[in-house]
Amino acid sequence: MQKPTHYPKHYCGVFGVFGHPNASELAYYGLYALQHRGQESAGIVTCHEGKFYKHHGMGLVPQIFTDPKTLHDLVGNMAIGHTRYSTTGSSSLRNAQPLTVDCARGQIAVAHNGNLTNAASLREELEERGLVFQTTVDSEIIIMMLAQPQNGGMPSSLVNTIRRIEGAYSLVIMTEKELIGARDPHGFRPLSIGRTANGAWILSSETTAFDLIHAEFVRDVEPGEIVIINDQGLTSIAAFPDHQKRAFCIFEYVYFARPDSILNGHSVYEVRKEMGRQLAREHNVKADLVIPVPDSGVCAAMGYSEQSGIPYEMAFIRNHYVGRSFLQPTQLIRDFNVRVKLNLIESLVKDKRVVIVDDSIVRGTTCRSRVKTLKEAGAAEVHVAVSCPPHQNPCVYGIDFPDRSKLMAANNTVDEIRKYLNADSLHYLSQDGMVKATSQPAANFCMACYDGKYPVPYDPLLDKNIIERRKRHTQTLGEAATRENKQISLLQV
């Protein structure tokens, strides 16, 4: 059996503030609430009297903004922020967002959540026009296009730009006078509007950030909509008035979003519990105990327990203080990487038939270790229940599993996966059951990772490093041309 060696990572989180005297502080707390969407880098850009102030770094939000003076120096009543996991471009400081540019129409800052499917071709087009890129992220293409001089000012430039880019994007943009939010016409990624008690406007990837800063949810930015916020209030532009097809990423409900967020008017917590209930309706396993894989499997396990009547126990205890280890595990602790995150209360599972509930299985190695731990602790039977269908196709809209060879279910049958996990049984939620749990029509969602139906065409060679590979290829061609010219010169001599 093939052993995939990859698992999905988060997308990114974007946040914006307009009209608050402590905009940077609100942005900091907003990014803190969105930390689950990206842990590689983060940054904040503020605007005060037409001047931008920026701070960004690698790591988690509190690791980057350790000195209170840092936030104090980010002055202004406007701010945008970003937490990043790299979906296009490698993990490095130069690729950290928000990105900024100083151009003829003034300063612009952009924070992008999503993945552009036509990034390479657009970048090549811009480079042929003489533009020089500083990063290898697709987000820089957006800011370069916005910076181009056009008739009609920023609104016209915005509309023209987002009509050129393809794929998934929720954008938070800041100019010297405005805060702007935009979503792609399919609405792949979430973006919500909130407002504080003092009237400040907030844009956020998820509504959970509103709770932390005591902001009220106003509404979602609609797919294909641009919202422009300035001293006159909020203006809406429908950039794709005739576009009807929706394709919200259903994996937001399954795994990515925080359970205390509201997406498309539906509680993520309640949807995940209903996925667990539906899983129990579809697969009635005879067992003594239901246990979740913390934290992502907790809601579904609760729903499974309620529907099946099987008692629920938190047998796996998560260590919330796991950081980067500077010592490599030795033979003394062979399974350090597994046990350091989750530890089992063995007395709860000894001689019991156990159903372990998780949100997804992508590569399977972690799930296999959980099954092994349960059996070593004396569990009589271990049944694995998964609250989504098998992942069989790559995602090109922001989840970092773009290669079918790295997806266990794309290369193995359910029974082969069960044998690899060494589980007594393995059960996946059906696609119909997953959709039913959301209480929304199937036509509202992108489910390409399950069914292979891609709403936006893509290059099958697309992956997160495509721009860097193309750059290396161009450099190689240039070096070859230089060598050839030298040889011609020698022959002429």
Lowest mean per-residue pLDDT among 2-11, 125-134, 385-394: 2-11
Give yes or no for a contact between 97 and 167, defined as CB atoms under 8 angstroms apart: no
Residue 314 has pLDDT above 90, yes or no: yes
Q: What is the mean pLDDT of residues 318-323?
A: 72
Rounded to an integer, the average pLDDT of 441-470 is 79
> Is pLDDT of 485 > 70?
no
Predicted local confidence at residue 10, as pLDDT: 47
How much is the pLDDT for 144?
92
Mean pLDDT, the chain, rounded, equals 88
pTM of the shown model: 0.88
What would the pLDDT profile of 155-204 be if each residue is shown by its tens digit? 888 999 999 999 999 999 999 999 999 999 999 999 999 999 999 999 99
pLDDT of residue 211: 96
* First-to-final CA distance of the chain: 61
What tokens does 450 get?
């399950």
Whether the per-residue pLDDT at 153 is higher than 90: the answer is: no
H-helix or E-strand containing 72? Answer: helix 68-73
**Is residue 209 a contact partner of residue 164, using CB atoms and an 8 Å limit?**
no
pLDDT band at 60 (very low <50, low <70, confident <90, very high): very high
What was the pLDDT predicted at 488?
Answer: 38
181 with 204: CB under 8 angstroms?
A: no
Given a cut of 60, whether residue 482 has pLDDT beyond it is no
Does an H or E element contain 87, and which? none
Higher pLDDT, 367 or 333: 367
Average pLDDT over residues 257-284: 97
Q: What is the arithmetic mean of pLDDT over 266-271?
A: 98
For residue 196, the 8-state DSSP code is -
Q: How far apart are CA 421 and CA 391, in angstroms?
A: 16
Amino acid 485 reads: N
Tracing tokens 């008692």 back to the chain, one arrives at 311
Peptide bond into 295 cis (omega under 30): yes
**Bridge partners, residue 52, by sequence:** 47
Q: What angle do CA 425, 428, 429 make, to 5 degrees?
A: 140
What pLDDT is attached to residue 458? 82
Strand partners, 51: 48
The secondary element (H helix, E strand) that includes residue 475 is: helix 466-492
> Per-residue pLDDT for 9 more than 70?
no
What the block records as the tokens of 389 is 């269908």
Question: What is the pLDDT, as a whole number, of residue 341?
Answer: 80
Contact 37, 89 (CB under 8 A): no
| Confidence at 104, pLDDT banded by 50, 70, 90 | confident
Could you confirm whether 12 is annotated as catalytic? yes
What percentage of the chain exceeds 70 in pLDDT?
A: 85
d(CA 65, CA 57): 9
Q: What is the pLDDT of residue 137?
A: 86
Looking at mean pLDDT, say which of 2-6, 102-106, 112-116, 258-262 comes out highest.
258-262
- Residue 48's CB is within 10 A of a number of other CB atoms, namely 16
d(CA 347, CA 44): 47
Residues in contact with 321: Cβ distance below 8 Å, sequence separation at least 6, in sequence order: none
Query: How is residue 321 annotated by DSSP?
Result: T
**Residue 399 confidence (pLDDT):** 75
- Do 352 and 377 form a contact (C-beta atoms < 8 A)? no
So what's the pLDDT on residue 339?
66
Taking the C-alpha atoms of residue 383 and residue 2, their distance in angstroms, rounded to an integer, is 22
Residue 480 has pLDDT above 50, yes or no: no
Q: What does the pLDDT read at residue 166?
A: 95
- Helix or strand holding residue 160 (H, E): helix 153-164
Q: What is the rounded distance in angstroms from the CA atom of residue 481 to the CA atom of residue 302?
A: 63
Give dist(CA 254, CA 485) in Å, integer.
Answer: 56
Catalytic one among 12, 249, 299, 395? Answer: 12
Q: Of all residues in the chain, what percent carry a pLDDT higher than 90? A: 72
Predicted local distance difference test score (pLDDT) of residue 414: 97
Q: What is the C-alpha to C-alpha distance for residues 419 and 340, in angstroms, rounded to an integer?
A: 25
